[in-house]
A = this chain, B = another copy of it.
């Protein structure tokens, strides 16, 4: 058993503590920054450590979205009527088949207040709505639909309102968000240590976590955390061996959303002291075909030429469906009237034809299947109907303008950006839970080190959203002293 896999150290094996703080935060991304701010503002002495040379983590390179609602100031200013219940109804439907109600309920209830808190830390939002596809790549608009709220069946379950809150900048939205949060944390008086990796948690005989063993440039340092350790060290998309064992589907994705430190170490530290890591197979898988939205007029078809999903869902829902349920084998069939080249990612064309029959043959599909799919779709689209998947009428029009083509959505041909969604199980205070649903005293976690609000049906902003939200709660709970 390799020494570096002993991620847990018995307190009796700690000869002396090199340093003592109240709260130790492992990882300085979005969840860690929010945990640190709350703990420091509550009066705790806070040390934030990070393996890399500075703060920011994966969050600083992210899209910077927060998925918030329930009536945020920005939603209200733009005339969107949301409520905690309406947001809850959407998330319970979209994040299934096994939504985590214990986390989703408080997340929705306090979402509007959380937005105010973020704004109060200096993150600016423009009071404008972005009407395009999910990512406002070319604008600094503040609010956008970043999920499947307006798509069937979710539009039948909850009133569709936009909940993607984007910082006011055209480029580097994640950097703007993080730089404000980092400044707020530093301003609150936290201490930091970079190039410092937490390689073990120190555990007492009763199971409680007392501190960390850090590997630093100056060697090993044992840090006592009187009120708690908060693990916010990212997911495991950069650990291929872990992906192979837990989430082999994600290995097929050609783009990893994360940094090299997203190697699962935070999750493994929690496991080593008795925490549970759940839903480790889950991942967010984007299908960045859109914009342009015109492509939503096309048809997702499987290898047999059958449709399987309404094309107006959020691109994360489409990616998840294709990767996990269609064997990473699908196409988008288009005609000349709706084909525009995707704006942000390259595509490969799997086939073209002057007729659907010719395209079907070129794709090697069973004779007649794609022809029937298109004919059935066209017949109903002409009447503004999609009886099969209920795509919104604004995207419905017969595909009847040759040539026809198929964009190749097989994982070997299309770049699916992905990150992991499985991780440590926490309670609504951010406490890491054992299999018996007992919190491990002194141990908290947030962000992608945890299994958060979205195990399926990811919408943009849910990861920074739950990381910041439960990071704050963990910081507050830890700073208040052990329960």
Contact = CB atoms under 8 A, between A and B. Distances in A.
Interface in A421-446: 425, 434-441
A439 B280 CA distance: 22
Interface size on A, as a range, is 35 or more
A279 B276 contact: no
A276 B244 CA distance: 13
A268 B276 CA distance: 9
Nearest to A10: B10
Contacts of A12: 10, 12
B2 A438 contact: yes
A122 interface: no
B207 A435 contact: no
Interface in A357-379: 366-369, 372, 376
Given A280-B280, A369-B388, A207 B5 contact: yes
Given A98-B244, A245-B425, A278-B246, A4 B388 contact: no
Contacts of A388: 304, 366, 369
B376 A268 contact: no
B327 A97 contact: yes
A2 B274 CA distance: 11
Given A12-B12, A366-B387, A388-B366, A5 B436 contact: yes
Given A4-B436, A372-B376, A248 B304 contact: no
Contacts of A280: 278, 280-281
A175 interface: no
Contacts of A8: 274
Contacts of A369: 376, 388
A436 B2 contact: yes
Interface string A323-336: 01101000000000
B279 A245 contact: yes
A18 interface: no
A144 to B, nearest CB: 29
Contact of A241 (B98, B206, B207, B437): B437
27 contacts: A1-B439, A2-B434, A2-B438, A5-B207, A5-B274, A5-B438, A6-B274, A8-B274, A10-B12, A12-B12, A97-B248, A97-B327, A98-B248, A245-B278, A245-B279, A245-B425, A246-B279, A264-B435, A271-B271, A272-B274, A279-B281, A280-B281, A325-B325, A366-B387, A367-B387, A369-B388, A372-B372
A306 interface: yes
Interface in A182-218: 205-208
Contacts of A440: 1
A13 interface: yes
A20 interface: no
Contacts of A83: none
B425 A1 contact: no
A369 B387 CA distance: 10
Copies in the complex: 2
A242 interface: yes
Contacts of A248: 97-98
B304 A1 contact: no
A8 B274 CA distance: 9
A13 B135 CA distance: 56
A249 interface: yes
Given A281-B281, A366-B387, A367-B387, 10 more contacts: A1-B208, A5-B434, A5-B438, A7-B274, A10-B10, A10-B205, A98-B244, A242-B435, A366-B388, A372-B376
A268 B205 contact: no
User: Which of A13, A387, A440: most chain B Cβ within 10 A?
Assistant: A387
Interface in A224-248: 241-242, 244-246, 248
B206 A1 contact: yes
Interface in A33-56: none
A1 B249 contact: no
B242 A434 contact: no
Contact of A97 (B242, B249, B437, B439): B249
A166 to B, nearest CB: 32
Pairs of residues from A and B, 3 with the lowest C-beta to C-beta distance, nearest first: A98-B248, A1-B207, A366-B387
Interface string A292-317: 00000000000010100000000000
Interface string A386-397: 011000000000
A441 B1 contact: yes
Interface string A257-269: 0000000100010
A376 B440 CA distance: 59
